[in-house]
Structures are given as structure tokens and as C-alpha cells.
Amino acid sequence: MKIQSHNFTQSIFETILPIDNQLYSKIKKQKLTKEEELQSSYDTPIDKILFNEIKNYLQDYMDSVGKMLNKEKNIIDYMWFQKYFISDYHNVHCHNSGTNEYSFILYIDCGDKSGDTRFLNLGYPHINLNEYRVKPVKGKCLIFLGALPHESIPARDNKKTIVSGNIQYQ
Ligand SMILES: [Fe+2]
């Protein structure tokens, strides 16, 4: 009996970028708003110059992922900063639902006790099939489909700082 198995998967792209301390310290100085779960700049568009500096920093990586996705172009739609103090977390959420809408997380700072990023399968919480956890590492950058549910589990230190954003691939 011949049985074939057909799998549908979603990739989470991951790389470690060369640490740019000058850029990272600029990011860490940005003013954030205290929200219920964490501190964020989400409601205020970030400074244009800093936006472009981060965009340039990520460009090679975004292009390389684009090649893997067979896409010619990419545009960062929006970008924001987040910081987690002890017990801060970010509940399960998705960024987008489009087939070409991706997101990134760049870890600017973290410690051993910073909260992992936990990805869940498409369709969560209606169905809970599997999860994939990423440990924050300074300079690590993830690119993933914006529709993938994900969360930041509670922090046990005051260090985790990230840049996140949405990328359109065309
Ligand atoms: Fe997110």
C-alpha cells in the first residue's frame, strides 16, 4: 500500500545580525508608553531617520528571505519598539492576515530570564496543534508570516527590548 503524506508548513526565518551598539543604544533610549502588558511605542510612529536606519540595517536579511520566498521587493509598513519589565508579557496575537504580509522581531537586548517568543500554529486557539519557542538573543532577528499567532511569555528580568514591524513582500 502506497501512502503519501502531504504537509503544510510555515517557516520562521531566523538569523543573527552583527550587533550595532550605536543603533541599539539609540533604540533603547526611545520613549515608550506603559500599556497593560508591557511598554510599547506602537501608537506613535517612530522617528523617520531612525526608521530608515533600522530598515537599512535589516535590508540584506529581508532581501535574502525575499529570495527564499521568490519575492522581488519588500517594504516595511510599520515599525515599533517594545520593552518588558519583570512579569511583563505580550498575549497571543497576529499582525496581519495577507499571504504576502510578514513581520519581524529584532532582539535589541535580553537576559537569561527574558521571556521567550512562542509561536503557535495557524488556527490557534481554535485548534492547538504545536508550538515553536525562540529564546531572545541580542542581534537575533526573526521574519515570519504575520498571520502566525505568537506571544511573549512573562519576563523574569528587566532586559528584553525588541523592535518589531510588518513587511510587505511583493
Ligand atoms: Fe507580535
Q: How far is the CA of 41 from the centre of ligand 1 (A)?
A: 13
- What per-residue confidence (pLDDT) applies to 153? 97
What is the share, in percent, of the chain residues with pLDDT greater than 70?
100
Which pTM does this prediction carry? Answer: 0.96
Whether 7 is covered by a domain: the verdict is: no
Tell me the pLDDT band of 8, cut-offs 50, 70 and 90.
confident
Q: How far is the CA of 2 from the centre of ligand 1 (A)?
A: 42
Whether 58 is covered by a domain: the verdict is: yes
Whether 4 is covered by a domain: the verdict is: no
Average pLDDT of the segment spanning 18-27: 98
Whether 5 is covered by a domain: the verdict is: no
Give the side-chain half-sphere CA count within 13 A for 15.
14
pLDDT digits (tens, 9 = 90+) for 94-136: 999 999 999 999 999 999 999 999 999 999 999 999 999 999 9
Q: How far is the CA of 119 from the centre of ligand 1 (A)?
A: 10
- Paired strand residues for 118: 133, 151
- What per-residue confidence (pLDDT) applies to 136? 98
Whether 142 is covered by a domain: the verdict is: yes
Number of helices followed by number of strands (H, E) in the chain: 2, 11
Whether 1 is covered by a domain: the verdict is: no
Average pLDDT of the segment spanning 61-80: 98
Average pLDDT of the segment spanning 67-78: 97
Tally the domains of the chain.
1
Mean pLDDT (the chain, rounded):
97
Whether 6 is covered by a domain: the verdict is: no
What is the span of the domain harbouring residue 18? 12-169
- What per-residue confidence (pLDDT) applies to 125? 96
Q: Helix, strand, or coil here: 53?
A: helix
Q: How far is the CA of 92 from the centre of ligand 1 (A)?
A: 8
Residue found by looking up cell 530598515 in the block: 55
Task: Give the torsion through C-alpha atoms of 31, 35, 40, 43, to 10 deg.
Answer: -90
Here the cell at position 148 is: 502566525
Average pLDDT of the segment spanning 41-61: 97
Q: How far is the CA of 42 from the centre of ligand 1 (A)?
A: 11
User: H helices within 69-164, ranges in order?
Assistant: none
Q: How far is the CA of 98 from the centre of ligand 1 (A)?
A: 15
Q: How far is the CA of 93 from the centre of ligand 1 (A)?
A: 6
Q: How far is the CA of 105 from the centre of ligand 1 (A)?
A: 8
Q: Give the CATH number, domain containing residue 93.
A: 2.60.120.620
Write the DSSP symbol of residue 104.
Answer: E
The 10 Å Cβ neighbour count of residue 45 is 11
Average pLDDT of the segment spanning 62-89: 98
